[in-house]
Amino acid sequence: MSVTVRIPTPLRTLTKGADEVKLEGKNIKDIVENLEANYKGIKERICDNEGQIRRFVNVYLNDEDIRFIDNLKTPVKDGDHISIVPAIAGGNSADK
């Protein structure tokens, strides 16, 4: 099952500049493991020490947040699109 994973700009140094990669897997956990197997160091940027998706990283399967599906156990099928989106925070208190 080939799925397309969209890589955010901050992680593209690990994918040699690729903004999308194709990977095989039956669920999100498999995809994360295959990302790491092909692009060393990417898992530690996406997952915490327990192997869970970091709080400030959002992962979407076909525009649905996996946290509201089955998290890492969320099944994927051929042709699916996964987006890794780091949360953006900050701002200027003067803007309020």
CATH number at residue 8: 3.10.20.30
Residue 95 lies inside a defined structural domain of this protein: no
Q: Does pTM surpass 0.95? A: no
User: DSSP characters for 22-80?
Assistant: EEE-SBHHHHHHHHHHHSTTHHHHHB-TTSSBPTTEEEEETTEEGGGTTGGG-B--TT-
Residue 96 lies inside a defined structural domain of this protein: no
Per-residue pLDDT tens over the stretch 29-88: 999 999 999 999 999 999 999 999 999 999 999 999 999 999 999 999 999 999 999 987
Residue 28 lies inside a defined structural domain of this protein: yes
| Domains of the chain: total | 1
Residue 50 lies inside a defined structural domain of this protein: yes
Residue 7 lies inside a defined structural domain of this protein: yes
Residue 94 lies inside a defined structural domain of this protein: no
Domain ranges, residue 32: 2-88
Residue 36 lies inside a defined structural domain of this protein: yes
